[in-house]
Amino acid sequence: MPEPIKMIIDTDPGVDDAIAILMALAAPGVEILGLTSVGGNVPLARTTRNSLALLQAAGRSDIPVVKGASRPLRGKFTYSTRFHGPGGISSRLPEPTIRPVKRPAVQFLNEKLTSHKPGELVLVALGPLTNLAKLVQEYPCSLKRAKNIVVMGGAVNAPGNVTPKSEFNIYSDPVAAEVLFSSGVPLTLVDLAACRQVSIDRDRALGLRAEHRIGSLALRILQSWFRKHRDRERFEFYDPLAMMITLKPTITTVTKINLNVSLEKNSSWGQTYESGGAGEITLPLHVDKSRFFRLLESLFQMEGLPVA
């Protein structure tokens, strides 16, 4: 029996964040200690509301949601409402009746990391890295107590998705990313080159079926993303791949790198690039696609995924 995973998810839901969170809720042996919200895809108030609404819709109002950063360490968030919709999640969820915990996210993260033994907690970061960077700055010894830190972000040797060179999460707060990557804390960076290996086209997505309560919610969110815009032909599983790698690290090959983030105020802003040598950052390379979709199929009891 594999060891249970105790997890905190730092997130900016976000359509793909929502699917990743539902994967963790559906995964056997995973205990989610909390969601820490951050601005990013949509403003903080909305990412916090979406986190609460998602947990309540999934019947997990017991899991705390803790508000984090409303702005990056420098500048402002640019948001991504064109992709995620004005509300941040394509499918309207009932207004939550639960409220966020009245503590700052950084304090919550520090308390959980220091009240658990070193090597016990897994952190999954699915949005801009502002909360984690503030944790490094305010509690320098806290983050290294994590068992594993998995970040969705970056475009290492790959084109960006918000500019030709930069990926959205890093572009949204490159100063925070630089604080985290230069802290020396080991982490896994699931970048766009990995995420683009797992996607689904419109016709196949609209033909999917799911029995499971959590799987049906994920399916509703995915299908409504396609239905909202007739020209949407493909959905890439950005945050879901980061979550799947957290649950099943062996679904990819990996390499170890040192990473820099460009803070130049030009077209390179937020670009992630290797600085040579084998460092503390684990970079997934080749994704076993059929295994990813078989695992997703089993988590959500979903039929019609490209498992072959």
Q: x/- site string to Ca ion, residues 4 to 23, per CB under 5 A?
A: --------x-x--x------
Among residues 179 and 194, whose Cβ is nearest to ligand RIB?
A: 194
Among residues 17 and 297, whose Cβ is nearest to ligand RIB?
A: 17
Q: x/- site string to ligand RIB, residues 217 to 246, per CB under 6 A?
A: ---------------------xx-------
Which residues ranging from 168 to 197 are in contact with ligand RIB (CB under 6 A)? 168-169
Judged by CB under 5 A, does residue 127 bind Ca ion? yes
Total binding residues toward ligand RIB, as defined by CB under 6 A = 15
Which residues ranging from 4 to 33 are in contact with ligand RIB (CB under 6 A)? 12, 14, 16-17
Choice from 48, 161, 183, 246 touching ligand RIB (CB under 6 A) = 161
Judged by CB under 6 A, does residue 152 bind ligand RIB? yes
Secondary structure of the chain in the HEC alphabet? CCCCEEEEEEECCCHHHHHHHHHHHHCCCEEEEEEEECCCCCCHHHHHHHHHHHHHHCCCCCCCEEECCCCCCCCCCCCCHHHHCCCCCCCCCCCCCCCCECCCHHHHHHHHHHHCCCCCEEEEECCCCHHHHHHHHHCCCCHHHCCEEEEECCCCCCCCCCCCCECHHHHHCHHHHHHHHCCCCCEEEECHHHHCCCEEEHHHHHCCEECCHHHHHHHHHHHHHHHHCCCCCEEECHHHHHHHHHHCHHHEEEEEECEEECCCCCCCCCEEEECCCCCCEEEEEEECHHHHHHHHHHHHCEECCCCC
Judged by CB under 6 A, does residue 40 bind ligand RIB? yes
Q: Residue numbers of the site for ligand RIB (CB under 6 A)?
A: 12, 14, 16-17, 40-41, 126-127, 152, 161, 167-169, 238-239
